[in-house]
Chain A
Amino acid sequence: MTFLLLWASTLFAQTAKFTASVSKNEVGTEEQFQIDFSVNGNMEGFNPPNFNGFEVLSGPNESTSMTSINGSTTVSTSVSYILMPVKEGEFTIGPATATINGRRSGTNPIKIKVVKGRPVPQNSQAQTGPDNALSQASAAELSKSIFIKAVVDKSNVYQGEQLTLNYRLYTRVDIEQSQVDNLPDLNGFWNEDIKNLQQTTHWRVENYNGVNYHVADIKQSILFPEHAGNLTIDPLGMTFVVRVQAQARDIMDQFFGAYKDEKVKVKSSPLVVHVKPLPEGGKPDSFTGAVGSFKIDASVDKTEVKANDALNYKVKVAGSGNIKLLKTLNTAFPTDFEKYDPKITDSVTDAESGVSGSRYYNYLLIPRHQGEYTIDGLKFSYFNPATARYVTLTTKPLHIKVDKGTAESNVTAFSDAEKQDIKTLGKDIRYIKTEDTALNKPGDEFFGSFAYYALLFVGPVFCYGAFTYRNRLRKINSDIVQVKSRRAGKIAAKHMANAQKQLLANNQKAFYEDVFKGLYGYLSDKLNIQYANLNRETIASALKARHANEQVINQLLGTLDLCEMARYAPVTHISQQEVFEKAKGIIQDIENEI
């Protein structure tokens, strides 16, 4: 908007006119504007007014122009300043004085209204000359005629739930030009444009607040809130050049109708969307952020392959929602399969109703070893905002038969290339102990207990016992006489056994000889008397010396006499059996007494 403020008169050109004009008479603080003092003639002694309340940024800039039309030459001179207001309020720039054609004259004072901030934009064209139509329509009036509204289909959504954002232009005036000032950043959203500004707009008529408007959707986006909270949708700002009817100034205008072009800055008001976080309760492990409504299907291109041949595992996720934001799937392939990152293809349509379509994951798998494998069912979870529930879908497990491959043979590698490192899949604590679970009472440790000491001393005590036993044995063995006397019974027993044999064989002579030898030998050992020295007297005296029973001695001597006699003459008054028993009894008696 430009206002040419003052025409001093509508006199002929040759009359000197000294005028002051400003590029605008309503400016914002910190906005530059220009003031011109011009005269069609020569100007001398120019005296500028006092620019109270303004800062002179540049000036005075003098310019002179000379035009010659049909032989008459006109000279015009102008002095201009570029000013900037210092504070808000109404100011008057006083008259400038100059001597023109010898006459002192002054300009009109100019009123300037300084408002806070940037004022209404202006039509730059209007500045170029006084012929242009001037706009006088107020900004408020225009803002009713043309405005942008941001509209969302829902303002209360879950995180990740899609919503459609529409920037809608309402107008009742003709638009000459349009230009985008600032596009909304849409911070906190992942957005997908359905329709952008460059595309052709379809106008329709809509009644808004009782007034009919031409309405067009100038920008449509589908938004996916990325986090919970109150998210603000930034305004969209545009500048339009509109043609409005102007007041007729002269007869021509009245006849043809006066129009003027006006620049209008339009901004939608910011919009707040309430984003709820996804509920924590019941959130499945396989949930990775899918929100909407989906279906899933998994398939393989062949169920029987050779080892080292490739296999394609396809997963199709179809539905509506944040399908482009889906992360990789929780696939569970056999660990012996070589797995490559999936190739992802989208076939998604963006419409006003939302994003829908399908995403294909194509996994390339290479089984390395033969065998029967199962690709476990794929678990896919999503949040359905319509029902406010998590849904988990599971695909069918797929069975793959891997035959022995041919490629293994032509792998030229070292022999240990076939060996592979054991893959560590995870780390965990070791499992609890279920065996060797003997429970003790504290303080009942075996070490230091009485039983321990008892057991510990068993060995040394045993040793000590053995040691003393051996020493006694040695002492006993070192005494030959005693040994002989101890062994006498055994030797006699041997002779007596021989005698019994002879008795059974009925060999009388040999029997008596054996009994005699046995008794003599026994007595020799027992009484420690040389065999040759043995006779009735020595035996009797030795036995008496050892306090043997008189009766036993008499019996012994009797038996010895009998044996001696029997060796030369047959004995009849006593049987051999009786002699044998008698001899045995005597040995027994002596053994017991001595």
Chain B
Amino acid sequence: MKFNRIKRLLLLAVCLVLPMLSFGAGKANELFAKGNALYAKGQYEQALNAYRQVINEGYQSAALYFNMGNASFKNDDLASAILYYEKAHKLAPGDDDINFNIRFANSKTTDKIDEVPEFFLARWWKAFILAFSTGTLAMLSIIFVLIGSAMLVLYFFANSISIKKASFYISVSLLCLGVFAIFVAVMQIDYFNNRRQAIVFSGSATIKSAPADRSASLFVIHDGAKVNILDESNGWMKIRLANGNVGWIKDADVKEI
């Protein structure tokens, strides 16, 4: 009757998880494939339209945003390209292709913004928590916990002392790893939630010292530049550039990632 309970649990899991992994999005998938085919033919504008329809259907994925970024880039729309790449980056922060294209697109922008160097530990920590997507981390945590539990069960029933010892330590470390994976995933979500960013879309945007037109102009940035949003106030955004400069920009000049 113990096995019956486990069986029931497994059945429940299968019933709940499988629908989430299966794609009920037949039409969206078709559109996505169509966009890919159009991109391969070099019809970037049409490809972008197909991808946009996928978004309109209510779906998204890192690959979709990545492909939209590529199509925009090929259309010479640098600002859109960077916006889509950043959206893709948010969904799959550790993806090498996405990070490469972000760097490549940023090298084509007008403004050369020198980043304020971060403390190396902070940089490493950031790279670490962004190395895997939350989906991967979730899977990892489940696998760790399941194997850890299995090891614990082995510990309960093993007769030999050496097997008991080994299984205990392995189980404890695996369970710790599972909890750590959850912690990293939460940190990653927190990182993206606390970091509001936007891409400049207008050809040249003047950054003011206060949220008013007649205030002093501080500097000018151009399309494709990435800014951190600090605050918002009727139609204006307080932003900070990567080099540390702070000022106010009009809402209409930027699009939030």
Contact = CB atoms under 8 A, between A and B. Distances in A.
Given A432-B66, A434-B36, A456-B142, A447 B149 contact: no
A456 B62 CA distance: 25
B2 A452 contact: no
A447 B145 contact: no
A470 B139 CA distance: 29
B185 interface: yes
B59 interface: yes
Interface string B1-44: 01001100110110011001101010011001000100100000
A340 to B, nearest CB: 33
Contact of B59 (A440, A456, A469): A440
B190 to A, nearest CB: 13
A495 to B, nearest CB: 29
Interface in A425-439: 427-434, 436-439
A471 to B, nearest CB: 9
Nearest to B18: A451
Interface string B37-54: 001000000000000001
Contact of B23 (A439, A445, A450, A455): A439
Interface residues of A, number: 38
Given A440-B59, A460-B145, A462-B9, A447 B185 contact: yes
A465 B16 contact: no
B58 interface: yes
Nearest to A439: B59
Chain B interface size range: 35 or more
B13 A463 contact: no
Most buried by B among A427, A441, A451: A451
Contacts of B138: 446-448, 452
A451 B17 contact: yes
A472 to B, nearest CB: 10
Contact of A432 (B10, B58, B67, B189): B67
Given A450-B16, A452-B138, A470 B149 contact: no
B166 interface: no
Given A458-B146, A462-B9, A466-B157, A439 B70 contact: no
Interface string B141-174: 1100110111011001100000000000000000
Interface string B59-70: 111111011001
Given A429-B101, A440-B59, 18 more contacts: A428-B104, A429-B73, A430-B104, A432-B63, A432-B71, A433-B97, A438-B23, A439-B61, A441-B60, A446-B20, A446-B139, A447-B137, A448-B138, A452-B138, A452-B142, A456-B141, A456-B142, A463-B152
Q: What are the 3 A-B residue pairs with the smallest beta carbon separation, nearest first?
A: A459-B149, A447-B138, A433-B63
13 contacts: A431-B70, A432-B39, A432-B63, A433-B63, A439-B29, A446-B134, A448-B138, A451-B16, A452-B142, A456-B141, A459-B150, A462-B150, A465-B2
